[in-house]
Amino acid sequence: MHISLIAVGRMQRGAEQALMQEYFKRLPWKTSVIEIDIKKTSATSAERKAREAQKLLAAIPQGAAIIILDEHGRALSSRAFAGKIDEWQMAGYKNLAFIIGGADGLDKELIAKADLKLAFGTLTWPHMMVRAMLSEQIYRAWSINTGHPYHRD
């Protein structure tokens, strides 16, 4: 399995980056973080989202399951999230692409291509913190699916 975290914006060195890297280092799966840098211009929100979507879509590995993080997505339990990852593995997916948009959200074209719209609750989270939280949940899902004692109900 190959996990791609594809996000708008560059992560600076700090606690969030260290935490994300720590959880990805624990995984037996190959992981990559692809950061999309869009220069801020006087474009409208819709224009920025469309430009970001083009770059995000181009970065998704061929044949990957696409999981977008969206405040209007489904809030899954850790076990349900692990179950989705297990389903994709059993279906033969070799790549999972997790997409985090910019401050304006995601373009509807990209949302339409998603295999799962995932929400981390109804609160708004800083995008850099979401990367760390997502990496932890991916590790937790792996631990649940393999019977590792990390997760406790």
The answer to whether position 130 is within a domain reads yes
**Alpha helix locations (H) across the chain?**
15-26, 45-59, 78-90, 108-112, 127-146
The pTM score is: 0.94
- The total number of structural domains that make up the chain: 1
The answer to whether position 151 is within a domain reads no
The answer to whether position 152 is within a domain reads no
The answer to whether position 132 is within a domain reads yes
Residue whose C-alpha is closest to residue 137's, from 92, 101, 85, 99? 85
CATH assignment of the domain containing 78:
3.40.1280.10
The answer to whether position 102 is within a domain reads yes
pLDDT in tens, the chain (153 residues): 999 999 999 988 899 999 999 999 999 999 999 999 877 776 788 988 999 999 999 999 999 999 999 989 999 999 999 999 999 999 999 999 999 998 889 999 999 999 999 999 988 888 889 999 999 999 999 999 999 999 998
Residue 88 structural domain: 2-146
Q: How far is CA 4 from the centre of its chain?
A: 7
